[in-house]
Amino acid sequence: MLKIDLTSAAGFLPDDWFSSREAGLAQARTMLRDHSGPGGDFTGWVRLPEEYDREEFARIQAAAEKIRSDSQVLVVVGIGGSYLGARAVIELMGSADHRLARNAPEIFFAGNGLSTDALCELIDYLKDKDFSVNVISKSGTTTEPAVAFRIFKALLEERYGREGARGRIYATTDARKGALKGLADSEGYETFVVPDAVGGRYSVLTAVGLLPIAAAGIDAAALMEGAREAMEALDVPGADNPAWQYAAARNALYGAGKAIELLVGYEPSFRFFAEWWKQLYGESEGKEGRGLFPASVEFTADLHSMGQYIQQGARILMETVVRFRTSRRELLVPHDPDNVDGLNFLSGKSLQFVAEQAMRGTLLAHVDGGVPNLVVEAEARDERTIGQLIYFFEYACGLSGYLLGVNPFDQPGVEAYKQNMFALLGKPGFEARRAELELRL
């Protein structure tokens, strides 16, 4: 099970950092369990690893098997929480290796931006590939994925005919209503449900994330089992609970003037897990003028670009390091008879050992420079551990939001850019706003 090491943050935390927040954590736990806090209607994820719909899970597995059998590529169309969780898991598991080992399709993500060049490059790549599409949207009207789906739906129908395309489109959407649900029902697409009680950024363990994950050849059952283990372990109140420790420590550091939390990974494949984490915490806590700003860095690469600022810039930073204890393979540093680089003292040592010492040295340097470090220790990059990580950060985020005094399950600020974009695009009903914005621009 996951552990958290707060040793490198101890010097930055007040003596009562946990005790003064224990009652608040207990209250937050109750609100999450009873769905009784602000945004309680969207806490269906809390018991999800135990109470998920087994019948739909079986349909997800069957659809994933069909995609693996008839498609070289799966295009996942979605934005924000509709794609970040799936991409996080697929990349953290090592998508290329697992595609080759498990005879799974390549997974591409579209509809998460408005770049013409990026979309055209993907369209060109698909010209000689059999492909399927998983469109993910609760409403079906969000601009970026809706435009992308129009394009890929037309490509599928042009290549396979309307009937053939129907068997290659999988819609993950609202159970009862919305534009995408209506289209899926009328066209006969296989549909999966975005649960009403689970917001997008908490939805990776629903069909939203599980269909692309399973299609990539990843063991979705093991992922859910890891999440269930974390759910049980983290439901125990008290100072030994790592989620309580994480929530309390970051809240205390925020109160002490830390404004930015850097999520640190030492695996390149961790990059999109960090992107998922940034949405989770930024959208949950960043409101009412409050909240740590979530950012991420990839070490050791970013030590050669961001390291200077982290070491000596404004002292507003804290770091949360995710450390995987074991690598999948062993790679030894070879001996060089000429010792041109002066590194023969590393000969015969494993690269994992070298990386571990780099991590330890970096942690000490940053602490000496005034940057507290929290270390989340995970066992390995496998499905079970990743399931634990997902649930750990989700649960700690719910606790953290309630400690901060905000609703962790709404996102009212997200609508501002959408309203302006609709107006500038000429959407009916936005004429007055368009005129006002054009004057400002």
Across 272-276, 344-348, 421-425, least confident range: 421-425
Residue given tokens 């998920």 in the structure block: 52
Categorize the per-residue pLDDT at 270 as very low, low, confident or very high, splitting at 50, 70 and 90. very high
Coil, strand, or helix at residue 388? helix
Tokens encoding 180: 């995408």
Average pLDDT over residues 57-67: 98
pLDDT score of 430: 86
pLDDT score of 214: 97
Residue given tokens 């975005």 in the structure block: 194
- H-type alpha helices, 126-241: 143-166, 179-187, 207-215, 220-234
CA 44 to chain centre: 18
Cα–Cα dist 201/219, whole Å = 21
- What CATH number labels 3-36+224-408? 3.40.50.10490
106-110 and 131-136 strand pairing: unpaired
Average pLDDT over residues 227-250: 97
pLDDT score of 423: 77
Q: Is 47-221 a domain of CATH 3.40.50.300?
A: no
Average pLDDT over residues 128-155: 95
Residue 93 has pLDDT above 50, yes or no: yes
pLDDT score of 100: 45
Contact 336, 361 (CB under 8 A): no
pLDDT score of 150: 97
Q: Do domains 3-36+224-408 and 47-221 have the same CATH topology?
A: yes
The DSSP output letter for 139 is S
Catalytic residue numbers, as ranges: 283, 418
CA 4 to chain centre: 20
What are the strands, taking DSSP E only, across 34-158? 73-77, 106-110, 131-136
What are the strands, taking DSSP E only, across 94-149? 106-110, 131-136
Radius of gyration (C-alpha) of the chain in whole angstroms: 23
Residue 414 has pLDDT above 80, yes or no: no
Average pLDDT over residues 253-281: 97
Contact 234, 242 (CB under 8 A): yes
Strand order through the sheet with 293-298: 3-5, 373-378, 317-324, 260-265, 293-298
Residue 96 has pLDDT above 70, yes or no: no
Residue 99 has pLDDT above 90, yes or no: no
Task: Return the domain boundaries, the chain.
Answer: 3-36+224-408, 47-221
Measured CA to CA in angstroms, residue 280 lies from 24, 213, 324 at distances of 21, 19, 21
Contact 317, 258 (CB under 8 A): yes
Cα–Cα dist 235/258, whole Å = 28
∠ Cα 358 359 363 (to 5°): 115
What are the strands, taking DSSP E only, across 58-138? 73-77, 106-110, 131-136
Per residue in 283-324, pLDDT (tens digit) is 999 999 999 999 999 999 999 999 999 999 999 999 999 999
Average pLDDT over residues 81-85: 95
Per residue in 4-48, pLDDT (tens digit) is 999 999 999 999 999 999 999 999 999 999 999 999 999 999 999
Per residue in 367-383, pLDDT (tens digit) is 999 999 999 999 999 99
pLDDT score of 102: 61
Please write down the long-range contacts of 342-351, taking CB distance under 8 Å and 24 or more positions apart: 351/327
Residue 120 has pLDDT above 90, yes or no: yes
pLDDT score of 138: 92
Residue 98 has pLDDT above 80, yes or no: no
Average pLDDT value for the chain: 94
Q: Which residue has the higher pLDDT, 260 or 104?
A: 260
